[in-house]
Amino acid sequence: MPDGPMRILLTNDDGVHAEGLENLALVAREFGRIEIVAPDREQSGASHALTMNRPVRLRRLDPSRFAVDGTPTDCVLLAVRGLKGAFEQRPDLVLSGINHGSNLGDDVTYSGTVAAAMEASLFGIPAVAFSLQAGSHPHWETARSVARTVLGRLLSAPDQLRGLLLNVNIPNCDPAAIRGYRVARLGRRVYPGEIRERLDPHGRPYYWIGDTDPVWSEDPDTDYAAVRSGHVALTPLHLDLTDYAGFEAMRALRLDRNEEG
C-alpha cells in the first residue's frame, strides 16, 4: 500500500460531466485522494486510440478535475506522464467509468472505458473499468454499492492489485435484486444486419453502423450470462494477445528460421 492516502485517477469515455463519473467519484473518495482527467465530450467506441494528428488540449475545471479534448487513452497518458495535477507522484490506482451501458464480451475491443484501464495497465498501474447495464432509469445506487464492494475487497488484499486489469459489469436493477458476484470470461456476439445503407437528400449513400441488437452466444460461463442472470460480472483481462497454440504451430512450420541455399 502507498504511504499516505491512496492516489486514485478517475476517467471515462462518457465525458467529464457524465453522471456515471460523478457516482464513481463519490465512492472513490472513500478510499483515497482522487483526480479526474476525462474527455471533454463523449468518446464511446474510441477504443485504445491515441490522438497523434493534432495537439491535445485540456482545461482545468477545478483543482483536481481536468477536461481533455481527446480520447480516454489520451487522458490516462496525460495524467501519468505529462500532467502536473493534484498528484505529486503517479496514481496508485486507475478507475474508469461508470459507463452507462455494458462493456461485455467483444465490446472490450471497442470500449473507451476499458481502453483507459488498459492504458493504465501498460504503465504497471492496477486498473478497474466499471459499466452499468443500459436502461431508461440507470440504477446508480446499485453501481455505487457494487463499486464500493469491489474496491473494498481489492484494497483489503493489496498484493492482489499487482498487474490487475479488471472489467466489472453491473446489472441495471435495485441493489436488493443483485444475486451476487461471478467471475466470468468474455462472451461472444454477432451483429446481424449491422450496417444500414440510406440516401441523403442529395441521393448520396450514407451508413448507420450498429443499429441492431447483438446476438450473444449461449454459454453460462460468460460475462453476458452473468449479467443477464442478475449477477455482477468480474472479468480479469490481460494485454498479451499472443496466440500460444498458433505460436507453436508457426514454429513447426519453421517460418522463423533463416534458410540459405
pLDDT-derived band at 261, boundaries 50, 70, 90: very low
6-187+216-252 homologous superfamily: Survival protein SurE-like phosphatase/nucleotidase (3.40.1210.10)
3-class DSSP state for residue 168?
strand
Give me the mean pLDDT over the 75-104 stretch: 85
> Considering only CA atoms, which of 225, 95, 112, 185 is closest in space to residue 148?
95
> Considering only CA atoms, which of 14, 247, 225 is closest in space to residue 140?
14
pLDDT-derived band at 209, boundaries 50, 70, 90: confident
pLDDT at residue 56 tops 50: yes
Provide the residue ranges of all domains of the chain, joining segments of one domain with +: 6-187+216-252
pLDDT at residue 146 tops 50: yes
Give me the mean pLDDT over the 85-107 stretch: 87
Please state which of the ranges 81-85, 129-133, 180-184 shows the lowest mean pLDDT. 81-85
Mean pLDDT of the chain: 89
Mutual angle of helices 19-28 and 140-155, in 10-degree steps: 40
Give me the mean pLDDT over the 165-182 stretch: 97
pLDDT at residue 87 tops 70: no
**Which amino acid, one-letter code, is at 167?**
N
**Percent of the chain at pLDDT above 90?**
61
Which H helix or E strand runs over 151?
helix 140-155
Q: Which three cell numbers stand for residue 173?
A: 436493477
Burial 145-178 (b: 16+ CB within 10 A, else e): bbbeebbeebbeeeeebeebbbbbbbbbeeeeeb
Cis, bond preceding 98 (omega within 30 deg of 0): yes
Q: pTM, whole model, 2 decimals? A: 0.88
Q: What residue ranges in the chain does DSSP mark as E strands?
A: 6-11, 32-39, 58-62, 65-68, 93-100, 127-132, 165-170, 180-183, 189-190, 195-199, 205-209, 215-216, 231-236
